[in-house]
Amino acid sequence: MPLHQKALSLIILLALSSAAFSAPSDNEPPVFEGLIEKVFETFDARQAVAVDAEHFYAVNNFRITKHDKHTGEPLIQWDGISEDDGPLIHLDSAMVLEGKLYAAHSNYPIWPMASSIEVWDTATMAHIDSHSFGIQLGSMTWIDRHDGFWWGGFGNYDRVQSGMSEPYGETRMSQVVKMDEQFQIIEQWALPAALHPKMSPMSNSGGSWGDDGYLYLTGHDYPELYVMRVPATGGTLEWIATVHIPGLNGQGIAWDRTEQGRVLWGILKEDEEVYRITMPEVVLPVRQAPGLIRKLGDFAQ
């Protein structure tokens, strides 16, 4: 199907789907709808997409291809040679900051899990830096910058890998972390148990902070984004809303911080397509402060 026809079909499909907001069901948070407004065919978009003012970057396990953001034309590629003998074997989500592309990398599905952050110069696509976590919280799946800190996700999996007898870490052990300038972890949060069925047997694949102050996470398969909030108390993120996007299947996402409006980029792994998505406003009730304050005189004598 020609590109413009496929994009039109996706728009029609979304228009015929549910309204921009629907009530929660089965005690899940409210659901909003996003709109895929443009589709780009690529040959590398199997893990994630990153974006800056003029380009998007299609991420494969061991390759990154820089494309013109408006036409989709491929311009330059960094090639890690191969899965077997290249320097990197499993890149995941990526983001661009001040002319550098930062990508999460792990040795998935090798055990024990080891992870790193890899960095490229976006002008030349030369690899310029690396930060190793070694064996730590799982397989690093995404990285982002928000509120003066680095943030990332470490995935664990219910899937039993080839040659193993136990799950690859267990999905429930996946975590979101906050890091300082040297990528040292200073805080970490678990994912809510209600999200585990949405991600099992895989894990949290992508994450990107919106300008609304919410963290948007993806799994590996469902056409959904999970809107999360850092809790006022405790060590588990709050799942406050879901954004449904027909045609998406999880993987790495990236908010476009160079354009006006709510624009997010994602991929469809099986077709190696990159999507430009218009996102809804997620409007929720103001969070109430936890706990109660009582005066001593309020207690019965």
Here the CATH number for the domain that contains residue 124 is 2.40.128.630
Q: What's residue 253's pLDDT? A: 97
With respect to residue 293, please indicate whether it lies within any of the assigned structural domains: no
With respect to residue 100, please indicate whether it lies within any of the assigned structural domains: yes
Q: What's residue 28's pLDDT? A: 81
**Under 8 Å between Cβ of 265 and 275:** yes
Please count the structural domains in the chain: 1
Q: Which of 6-10, 45-49, 81-85, 104-108 is least confident?
A: 6-10
Task: Give the residue numbers spanning the domain of 15.
Answer: 3-284
Q: Which of 5-9, 112-116, 126-130, 244-248 is least confident?
A: 5-9
Which of 256, 239, 245, 255 shows the shortest CA–CA distance to 194?
239
With respect to residue 213, please indicate whether it lies within any of the assigned structural domains: yes
With respect to residue 150, please indicate whether it lies within any of the assigned structural domains: yes
Show the DSSP H helices in the chain as ranges. Answer: 3-16, 196-199
With respect to residue 191, please indicate whether it lies within any of the assigned structural domains: yes
Q: What's residue 136's pLDDT? A: 87
Neighbouring C-beta atoms of residue 4, cutoff 10 Å: 10
The H or E element that residue 163 is part of is none
Q: Chain-wide mean pLDDT for the chain?
A: 89
Residue tagged 């040795």 (tokens)? 107
With respect to residue 84, please indicate whether it lies within any of the assigned structural domains: yes
With respect to residue 74, please indicate whether it lies within any of the assigned structural domains: yes
Enter the pTM of the model.
0.88
With respect to residue 130, please indicate whether it lies within any of the assigned structural domains: yes
